[in-house]
Amino acid sequence: MKRIAFVSLAVVLLAVFACRHQPAAEVPETPKIETGDLLFVGIPMNYGEEDMAQAIADATSDDGEQNFIHTAMLEVDSLGAVWVIDATIAYGVDRHPLDTLLSQFTLHRGDARATFEVMRLHDNSDVRRYVEQSHGLLGEEYDLHFLPANGKHYCTELVYDLYVKADGTHHFETVPMNFKNAAGEMPAYWTWLFEQLGEPVPQGAPGTNPQQMHASPALYHVMYLNE
């Protein structure tokens, strides 16, 4: 009887000891922005403004709920402040605080809400070099012509040209540019813009766009900034 009691006690002690030494359950870390992350700005489907953002959305939209119309690079400085490096009509290639972009990117319709999604490269081993190289392009004009290698950049063209691996290959692909909407019609904005430039719409020229880049298998979702 004593032997049975002793064995039972040993089993209980062993169980307690084992439980006390089980590794603690891992607590998921809160996502954080890292240098080299990309920020994608989306607007609701059929937002309906007659401007470049809507024209881009009309030409590049898919069956999702969001049309991604802008892409920016993110940089975290030594003090932890987050900066945006992007190409816009208003500022060209510029570096400014993330809060500036979030506060300035407002939609005209009160019922419309923009999406700010942070994405990250699966292979982000060299992203600091990409960001450092972007500093040499600050002040460059926005590429209203949407043509490659013309000394100017639009938003995803900037990312495409900078995110280049050490072997010279790009993280992202180019596609034939499309400026027409789902009905195959040219939006009035593009017709007006290229008439002002005195050039034909570069339909079919190689390029990139936010919707296509957002869907790239080179990236994965990190977080939304407005949730």
pLDDT digits (tens, 9 = 90+) for 94-145: 999 999 999 888 776 666 678 999 999 999 999 999 999 999 999 999 999 9
Kindly report the CATH number that applies to the domain delimited by 38-224.
3.90.1720.10
What DSSP assignment string belongs to 181-212?
-TTSPPPHHHHHHHHHHTS---TT-EE--HHH
Residue reference for tokens 């596609």: 175
pLDDT digits (tens, 9 = 90+) for 139-191: 999 999 999 999 999 999 999 999 999 999 999 999 999 999 888 999 999 99
pLDDT digits (tens, 9 = 90+) for 58-77: 665 555 567 899 999 999 99
Q: Is pLDDT larger for residue 28 or for residue 16?
A: 28
What DSSP assignment string belongs to 132-165?
HHHGGGTTPPB-TT--TTSS-B-HHHHHHHH-B-
Q: What is the DSSP letter of 221?
A: E
Provide φ and ψ at 38, rounded to 5°.
-115, 140
Q: What is the pLDDT of residue 12?
A: 36
Question: Domain coordinates of the chain in residue numbers?
Answer: 38-224
Q: What is the pLDDT of residue 11?
A: 37
- The structure tokens listed for 29 are 């870390």
Q: What is the pLDDT of residue 103?
A: 87
| Separation CA 201–CA 194 (nearest Å) | 6
pLDDT digits (tens, 9 = 90+) for 22-60: 455 555 578 999 999 999 999 876 555 555 655 665 665
| Separation CA 141–CA 159 (nearest Å) | 15
Q: What is the pLDDT of residue 50?
A: 55
Task: Please tell me the chain's helix, strand, coil percentages from 3-state DSSP, rounded to the nearest 5.
Answer: 30, 25, 45
Residue reference for tokens 């009309």: 58
**pLDDT tier at 1, thresholds 50, 70, 90:** very low
Q: What is the pLDDT of residue 181?
A: 87
SS3 114: coil
pLDDT digits (tens, 9 = 90+) for 186-212: 999 999 999 999 999 999 999 999 999
Neighbour-count burial for 10-38, b at 16+ CB within 10 Å, e otherwise:
eeeeeeeeeeeeeeeeeeeeeeebbbbbb
